[in-house]
Amino acid sequence: MQKNITSLNALNWDDLKFFLEVARTRKASNAAKRLGVDYTTVSRRISSLETALGTLLFEKSRTNGFVLTAEGQRLLSYAETIESTLHMACEQVSGSGVALSGHIRMGCTEGFGSFFITPQLSHFVDAYPAISVDILPLPHFISLSKREADIVIALERPEHGPYVCCKLTDYTLRLYATQDYLDSHGPIRQPSDLNSHPFVSYVDDLAFSSELLYLANLLPGASANLRSTSVIAQYVAALQGRSLAILPCFLAAQDPRMIAVLPEEVEITRQFWMYCREDLRKLKRITLLWDYIREVTEMNHAFLMGEPAPLRFRQPLAAER
């Protein structure tokens, strides 16, 4: 019993912050960058925590970095609970001005993040200047468990985990080409005509979601002579007038250079899901951004479904300025 009391008294609670960052990034150098300190400080704080607890929390590997031991895994869940509780406590005892401040990271698919979410967030941070937002429009899975993001917008609903999740919206994709392409290639009057036309599409085995593999499912006879993991790269390639591309309407329909081909016959509907960790969902700044994204998405339903509608922005209330 005396040993436990001594260990607790020797524990520096601030060391848990360093532990969490190393556990999430698996590299002391990356943790140091996120915390704004040097590598030696991170290493020293981790050693201090291990000494205070009397156990090894990480095994160090040249290839895998800092790997949590079984004891480290057990501590991680407790440390995250402490972190969330501290966030909630600060909001409860602080004024509303403090509660509506801080930093949020939002992960999102590349096209939606770049062409819809980022423009909307530029208006959000203008209305709430005390809140800073990182948008991560990356074409790969973003881990909430490693706190790579606080909120994620994805093509698929998470199968399990301590998450709050909602369907954000449906959206439409259609087949697009430039006028130059249509003028210089054979006529396209029906879907069977597409078998002789070149496409730009995803790299099948590198697609981060099966929801992206619509070309093979919709047009089995079509061939892609140029492929990319980036929907923006596909969009730019189609603009060169040498291939067709299936693109989200929120990306291509607002560009007058892009023309929808067989819009009635070639149309795909997909969904976006928004989710975050249960413990973070209660934070006021997370709730504010969550509700804001849902509102502006609903406001732009027609735009996202490929109907002739402009991109709309929510007008902030005077009290938000």
Q: What is the pLDDT of residues 91-144, one digit of tens each?
A: 666 655 555 778 888 999 999 999 999 999 999 999 999 898 999 876 556 666
Mean per-residue pLDDT, 78-101: 69
Residue 271 has pLDDT above 60, yes or no: yes
Q: How many Å apart are CA 165 and CA 298, to the nearest integer?
A: 16
> What CATH number should be reported for the domain holding residue 117?
3.40.190.10
Residue 25 makes CB contacts below 8 A (sequence gap 6+) with: 31, 34, 65, 146
**CA nearest 104: which of 136, 139, 72, 69?**
136
- Confidence class of residue 288 from pLDDT cuts 50, 70 and 90? very high
> What CATH number should be reported for the domain holding residue 228?
3.40.190.290
Same structural domain, 41 and 86: yes
Range of the domain at 103: 96-167+274-320
Same structural domain, 313 and 258: no
Structurally, the chain folds into a number of domains equal to 3
253 CB burial (10 A radius; 0-12, 13-18, 19+): buried
Residue 294 has pLDDT above 80, yes or no: yes
